[in-house]
Structure formats: structure tokens, C-alpha cells
């Protein structure tokens, strides 16, 4: 599938900021599931943009505005082609005890995705769930799908009931939240079970966007924010990352576009920064993700890949 994506963030200040420093993780990745066809990144006021790959391989665009300004606009426009992908059956059919043995041999390389992090701490409740789901003799792939389904069935999708910093323990008590919360609950359980997992941010084609594109024979509606979405990638024996969306109880497919990943939500925040001289009066974010015909024009050449 071919998508055109526009992500626009506007910071409106109460007065004038004397300086702003910002970094953005808004560039869709190039991997076995998707291809970045074009990309354009602009700021208003204009700032000199520096591009680099962070520790997790995400493309970061950082810039500074060193003069007075009353608002700051950050806009990313991309064209991305997605395709179906699945890991080898052997990587999913292995038993959990066999998978753990393999992961222990790769512990140093996978360390960040096996340990608690700032936003994903461990707790007794998390350990109980890990023991409940991950039995040594069970098949890894089937267990992952069962956990994915359990989160969808157990937790209610309720925007606004949690905050950006709501801990996993509170989400387990509330049994409600949004995609960020469900992804981090799933990651906590996986890491407690000694299964490496990482947090992913990106976009999904929501029902509203599908209708806007006039898609015929629509698939099931995907639930999530129109601004961004979060899901989980589970490491499988053989070096494969298996993407699962607990909010929608599905394997990530052609209607998902991956942008960034990390240990938790802090590592892949779309935009963040600091400014001097005032405070934020209003923050607005708008994202459009429209399906295109293969012959549709794209924006500008994508940036050259960075070595990491």
C-alpha cells in the first residue's frame, strides 16, 4: 500500500520565545516491511536542520531558532509504501524455554530490551502475569498472540484516562488507557518473562482516514490516535523483530507505518525540546495519512540513509 503522510506540530507561545531548541523523530524507517519513497521536513521559523541516527537507529532531525518568535511549526511530509511481511514459521514455533536459552546467549546485545526502563518498571503484578502466560513448554508464537489478545480483551481504550507518564502498575489497576499504555504493559510482561521487546511509534490508517481515501472493500477498522500510534516488537530467535499491536489485537500489517523505536515511550517521542523567555499557550498536532494510487506523485527525495 502507498500512503502520503503529513504530520504537523504547532507550538503557540503566550509571549515571544527568545530561543528554541528542538529534536524530531518523524522519519518513517526503511526496512523489510516498508519503503520510504520521499520525505520533506520544514520548520517555521526556518532553522538549520542537523540529521543523525540515535542509539536505537532512529533518524533524528534537530534544529535551533536563535531569534524571537511567537510560534513554532514543525512539519513532516512523507510517502511510504508498505508490504506484507512475516517471520519464518520456525522462529514462532520454538518453545519458550528454547527461546529463553537463545536469548541468554545474546543478553549483552539485547540488554536494553530485557531490562526495566524509566517508563516500564517491573512489579509483582507484572511477574504474576508473565508466569501465567509464558509456560516453558508452550510455543512462543502462539503465546505471543494469546497475550496480544488478552490485552485487547482486558483493557478498555479510553483517551484521556491516563497521562503521558502514567506507570504500568496504574494502568494494570485501571484496566484502561490508550495505545501507549497497552504497548508498555505488554512489554513489561514480556521482559519479565525474559522475552526481549521494544516500543514502537508510528502511524495507522484509522477508520476516518480510510473513509477520506474512499477505500473500497474496507478491512476491519483500526483503533488508535489520529496523531500517532504505538505498538510492540518482540525479538525472535534468528534475529527477527515480530510486530504486534495489542490495541487492535493484530499482527502489524500494511496499514501500519513505523517511525521510531526504543526501550519505552521516552526513546521515541515524536518531538521534544526547550525554549526560553515564555511558556506554551497552546500545542496542536495534526496528522493525515491517506492511501494513494501507485501512480500518485510523491514529495521530495528521501534523505540518504545514515550508518549506525
In a domain, 213, yes or no: yes
Beta carbons within 8 Å of 164's beta carbon, 6+ residues apart: 180, 265
Burial class (CB in 10 A: 0-12, 13-18, 19+), 105: exposed
Beta carbons within 8 Å of 104's beta carbon, 6+ residues apart: 194
The CA-atom distances, in angstroms, between 89 and each of 16, 92, 103, 197, 236 are: 57, 5, 18, 19, 11
In a domain, 203, yes or no: yes
Mean pLDDT taken over the chain: 90
What's the CA gap between 89 and 269, in Å, rounded? 33
Is the whole model's pTM more than 0.85, yes or no? yes
In a domain, 68, yes or no: yes
110 and 13 assigned to the same domain: no
264 and 280 assigned to the same domain: no
In a domain, 301, yes or no: no
In a domain, 306, yes or no: no
In a domain, 135, yes or no: yes
76 and 219 assigned to the same domain: no
172 and 264 assigned to the same domain: yes
Residue 307 has pLDDT above 50, yes or no: no
235 and 276 assigned to the same domain: no
100 and 242 assigned to the same domain: yes
Model confidence at 70, pLDDT cuts 50, 70, 90, reads very high
- Which cell is 87 given? 517471520
208 and 113 assigned to the same domain: yes
257 and 281 assigned to the same domain: no
Tens digits of residue pLDDT in 77-93: 999 999 999 999 999 99
Task: Note the pLDDT of residue 253.
Answer: 94
Contact assessment for residue 177 and residue 155, using Cβ atoms and an 8 Å cutoff: yes
62 and 177 assigned to the same domain: no
Residue 219: give its domain's CATH number.
3.10.620.30
41 and 99 assigned to the same domain: no
Model confidence at 209, pLDDT cuts 50, 70, 90, reads low
55 and 159 assigned to the same domain: no
Contact assessment for residue 88 and residue 16, using Cβ atoms and an 8 Å cutoff: no
In a domain, 110, yes or no: yes
Residues recorded for the chain = 308
> Do β-strands 229-236 and 69-82 pair in parallel, antiparallel, or remain unpaired?
unpaired
Task: Note the pLDDT of residue 223.
Answer: 83
Task: Note the pLDDT of residue 270.
Answer: 94
In a domain, 107, yes or no: yes
Task: Express as a percent the part of the chain with pLDDT over 90.
Answer: 80
38 and 128 assigned to the same domain: no
Tens digits of residue pLDDT in 2-33: 999 999 999 999 889 999 999 999 999 999 99
Tens digits of residue pLDDT in 127-155: 999 999 999 999 999 999 999 999 999 99
Residue 33: give its domain's CATH number.
2.60.40.2250
SS (H, E, C) the chain: CEEEEEEEEEEEEEEEECEEEEEECCCCCCCCCEEEEEEEEEEECCCCCEEEECCCCCEEEEEEECCCEEEEEEEEEEEEEECCCCCCHHHHHCEHHHHHHHHHHCCCCCHHHCCCCCCCCCCHHHHHHHHHHCCCCCEHHHHHHHHHHHHHHHCEECCCCCCCCCCHHHHHHHCEECHHHHHHHHHHHHHHCCCCEEEEEEEECCHHHHHHHCCCCCCCCCCCCCCCEEEEEEEECCCEEEEEECCCCEECCCCEEEEEEECCHHHHCCEEEEEECCCEEEEEEEEEEEEECCCCCCCCECCCCCCC
Tens digits of residue pLDDT in 171-196: 999 999 999 999 999 999 999 999 99
Residue 47: which domain range?
A: 2-82+271-292
Number of domains forming the structure of the chain: 2
Q: Which residues pair with 280 in a beta bridge?
A: 13
Contact assessment for residue 233 and residue 243, using Cβ atoms and an 8 Å cutoff: yes
Amino acid at each position: 500500500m502507498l500512503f502520503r503522510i503529513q504530520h504537523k506540530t504547532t507550538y503557540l507561545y503566550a509571549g515571544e520565545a527568545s530561543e528554541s531548541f528542538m529534536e524530531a523523530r518523524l522519519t518513517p524507517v526503511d526496512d523489510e516491511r516498508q519503503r520510504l519513497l520521499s520525505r520533506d521536513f520544514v520548520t517555521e521559523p526556518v532553522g538549520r536542520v542537523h540529521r543523525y541516527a540515535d542509539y536505537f537507529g532512529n533518524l533524528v532531525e534537530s534544529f535551533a531558532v536563535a531569534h524571537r518568535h511567537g510560534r513554532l511549526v514543525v512539519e513532516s511530509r512523507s510517502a511510504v509504501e508498505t508490504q506484507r511481511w512475516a517471520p519464518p514459521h520456525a522462529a514462532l514455533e520454538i518453545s519458550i524455554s528454547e527461546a529463553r536459552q537463545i536469548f541468554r546467549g545474546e543478553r549483552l546485545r539485547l540488554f536494553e530490551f530485557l531490562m526495566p526502563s524509566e517508563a516500564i518498571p517491573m512489579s509483582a503484578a507484572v511477574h504474576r502475569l508473565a508466569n501465567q502466560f509464558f509456560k516453558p513448554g508452550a510455543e512462543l508464537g502462539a503465546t505471543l498472540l494469546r497475550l496480544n489478545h488478552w490485552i485487547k480483551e482486558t483493557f478498555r481504550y479510553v483517551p484521556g484516562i491516563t497521562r503521558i507518564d502514567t506507570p504500568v502498575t496504574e494502568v494494570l489497576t485501571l484496566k484502561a488507557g490508550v495505545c501507549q499504555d497497552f504497548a508498555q504493559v505488554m512489554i513489561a510482561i514480556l521482559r519479565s518473562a525474559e522475552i526481549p521487546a521494544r516500543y514502537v511509534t508510528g502511524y495507522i490508517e484509522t477508520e476516518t482516514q480510510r473513509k477520506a481515501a474512499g477505500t473500497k472493500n474496507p478491512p476491519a477498522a483500526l483503533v488508535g490516535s489520529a496523531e500517532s500510534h504505538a505498538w510492540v516488537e518482540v525479538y525472535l530467535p534468528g534475529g527477527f523483530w515480530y510486530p504486534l499491536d495489542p490495541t487492535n489485537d493484530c499482527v502489524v500489517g500494511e496499514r501500519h507505518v513505523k517511525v521510531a523505536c526504543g526501550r519505552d515511550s521516552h526513546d521515541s517521542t515524536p518531538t521534544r525540546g526547550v525554549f526560553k523567555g515564555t511558556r506554551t499557550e497552546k500545542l496542536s498536532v495534526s496528522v493525515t495519512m491517506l492511501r494513494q494510487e501507485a501512480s500518485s506523485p510523491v514529495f521530495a527525495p528521501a534523505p540518504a540513509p545514515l550508518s549506525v
